[in-house]
């Protein structure tokens, strides 16, 4: 691709892409976003505000094509994309292609048009000398499995549920009351306890980490801060004891420094 940068028709802009779109309203006939996955900085490229910027930067009748994840792994995410793009663009579609190096061997695109009645599914010209694309591949890219088609077009989810997810639906439909359970503890016992509790979808679990000060820690605390600051009862500590002791040491040093400054 870098070999094309010397073409006189190519202009490279380096800067804030969002600002660039906002400053070029009604300018482009086609905008293509080949982004990374929607995590970290790239997350903003999958939000409604970005698609509104794309819409505003398009000339009348213009088109966009955006990377739109894998229907086997991110179908709910794709459904959200389809929903809010349809609130912005007059025409919106989801298509996919197969690429072995991608997760599940598939990647998709959100294709939208700033114009009513645009048929994105039908190729309108011949593209020659390709190794993957042809007119039949173009048409078939919009043909989705029934579970995906129903969710994207009608919001109906017919995917099967298994294990705890299936049990949760049964519980919800039966109206069974739920139990609230508080687990305080840590160590080898806590994990199997949690695993057992959450197997039952009627259980709502809250986990807290309870750590008591042992005798050795009590003696160290007494030496650091004096008996007047020592609590009468066991403490519930959110930082681990070593960190707690470090905080006390800093407090002790700060208190000593304050007294020296006063004197």
For residue 7, what is the domain's CATH number?
3.40.50.150
Query: What are residue 86's phi and psi, to 5 degrees?
Result: -70, -20
- Is residue 193 domain-resident? yes
> Residue 63: which domain range?
2-154
- Is residue 160 domain-resident? no
28 and 76 inside one domain: yes
100 and 226 inside one domain: no
What's the pLDDT at 70?
A: 95
Strands 91-98 and 106-113: antiparallel
Whole-prediction pTM:
0.67
What stretch of H or E contains 96?
Answer: strand 91-98
- Is residue 159 domain-resident? no
32 and 77 inside one domain: yes
pLDDT, greater one: 182 or 46: 46
- The two structure tokens encoding residue 113: 């048009």
What stretch of H or E contains 111?
Answer: strand 106-113
- Listed in sequence order, the DSSP H helices in the chain are 17-22, 48-57, 75-86, 135-140, 146-154, 163-174, 190-198, 215-225, 241-262
Question: What is the number of structural domains in the chain?
Answer: 3
55 and 148 inside one domain: yes
198 and 250 inside one domain: no
- Give the lowest-confidence range in 23-37, 95-109, 148-162, 172-186: 172-186
38 and 130 inside one domain: yes
146 and 173 inside one domain: no
Which are the catalytic amino acids? 34
What's the pLDDT at 232?
A: 37
What's the pLDDT at 253?
A: 64
What's the pLDDT at 162?
A: 85
16 and 143 inside one domain: yes
Say if residue 81's pLDDT is above 60: yes
- pLDDT confidence band for 193 (50 / 70 / 90): confident
219 and 101 inside one domain: no
- The two structure tokens encoding residue 48: 């409604």
Residue 129's contacts (CB-CB under 8 Å, 6 or more residues apart) are none
Say if residue 129's pLDDT is above 70: yes
36 and 97 inside one domain: yes
Cβ atoms within 10 Å of 55's Cβ, excluding its own: 19
Task: Confirm if 153 and 143 have CB atoms less than 8 A apart.
Answer: no
27 and 131 inside one domain: yes
192 and 90 inside one domain: no
């Amino acid at each position: 691709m870098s070999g094309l940068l010397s073409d006189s028709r190519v202009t490279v802009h380096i800067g804030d892409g969002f600002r660039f779109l906002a400053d070029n309203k009604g300018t482009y006939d086609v905008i293509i976003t080949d982004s990374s996955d929607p995590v970290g900085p790239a997350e903003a490229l999958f939000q409604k505000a970005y698609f509104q910027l794309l819409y505003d930067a398009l000339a009348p009748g213009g088109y966009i094509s955006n990377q739109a994840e894998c229907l086997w792994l991110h179908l709910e995410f794709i459904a959200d994309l389809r929903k809010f793009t349809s609130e912005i663009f007059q025409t919106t579609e989801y298509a996919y292609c197969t690429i072995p190096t991608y997760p599940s061997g598939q990647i998709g695109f959100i294709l939208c048009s700033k114009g009513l009645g645009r048929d994105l599914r039908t190729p309108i010209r011949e593209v020659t000398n390709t190794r993957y694309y042809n007119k039949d591949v173009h048409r078939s890219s919009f043909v989705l499995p029934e579970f995906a088609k129903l969710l994207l077009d009608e919001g109906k989810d017919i995917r099967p549920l298994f294990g705890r997810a299936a049990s949760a639906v049964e519980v919800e439909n039966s109206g069974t009351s739920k139990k609230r359970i508080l687990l305080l503890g840590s160590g080898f016992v806590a994990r199997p306890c949690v695993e057992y509790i959450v197997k039952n979808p009627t259980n709502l679990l809250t986990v807290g980490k309870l750590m008591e000060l042992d005798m050795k820690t009590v003696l160290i605390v007494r030496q650091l801060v004096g008996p007047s600051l020592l609590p009468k009862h066991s403490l519930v500590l959110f930082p681990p004891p070593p960190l707690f002791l470090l905080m006390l040491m800093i407090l002790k040093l700060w208190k000593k420094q304050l007294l020296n400054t006063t004197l």
